[in-house]
Amino acid sequence: MPGTPWTEDEGPWPDHYFVIGDDQTGNYWVIDVLSSGEMVLFYDHETGTFTVEHKTIQAFTDHLVQATIKWNQEQKVRRDKSP
């Protein structure tokens, strides 16, 4: 939305950050398209800050796969406990 403050200095969303995921609560994982590195940054909507969450895109995808496996296992346990 135009005029929406996205960053801690209440500026607009930086053009060089490309969103590659979200957590459905207003936070995003982004890559910096101007960077030669592969870091995945995490955008915290409450503070308007970006921090390095994963050093590589591969580490990010590995994390997603492991988190999905864990979530699926937890859901199976919950289903198995249901009457």
57, 60, 62, 82 from 66: Cα distances, Å = 14, 10, 6, 25
Q: How far is CA 74 from CA 54, 67, 70, 79, 83, in A?
A: 24, 10, 6, 9, 16
Nearest to 47 by CA among 7, 83, 14: 7
Question: Residue ranges of the domains in the chain?
Answer: 17-81
Per-residue pLDDT tens for 17-35? 999 999 999 899 999 999 9
Say what the pLDDT of residue 62 is.
97
pLDDT digit string, tens, across residues 37-71: 999 999 998 888 999 999 999 999 999 999 999 99
